Structure 1
């Protein structure tokens, strides 16, 4: 039977991909026009067309870092990977949190300019919650291991 900590970590393997497609924000030009929803995936698609280097960095922070960390932690829970790798996993978790910070910063900057209308959507909280849950699981695993 799985204990709560490994089970929470395994749940993140499903929750992370869901959070990538959830709307992070609704944005539109000027208050008169309709708003379009932006998710991690739709934002990455737009970035790949305009700035490949930034798209690569965001892909690493938003997709690869948290997911690889979750997989590695699952392998540690299953005793297939050494717990000595936990410090490296903490670094991956911090990289993923940097992505949430950048999204929040973009929202503040866009709102401050006043030419666009931006509303935070539920997906930003969902994505942030997944990142924070992943950090909590890895910190608790470090204390137990």
Structure 2
């Protein structure tokens, strides 16, 4: 179960985008996420969040998603930002053994390295799923 599934007494802010499910989606999500973090006054998280969101959106698109929905949720009291990417593609994310000579296949390793937790939940109404990740806001008890 994700943190996002629980109601909270803490101040939370949510932003949602439905990008096209094509090769432009990662760039649009990066721009939107950076602008959202700037509005939330936490631009220091932009590089890590953009890497994570790009990987999740790219994976969904490469697996044949025809529809995407991306959500960011900020919990200021906990100092956490959740990113969730819903897609309608079949299959689930699989972290591969790293092949440092390969041009791809390391995305989920990067997601794992940049987040406090990540996972997925199947969409019980269709073939899709939601892949989520939680990032700690720099300056909230981190060394980062």
Q: TM-score, normalised by structure 2?
A: 0.31
- Counting strand residues as a fraction of each chain, which structure ranks higher? 2
Q: TM-score, normalised by structure 1?
A: 0.31
State the structure with more CA Rg: 1
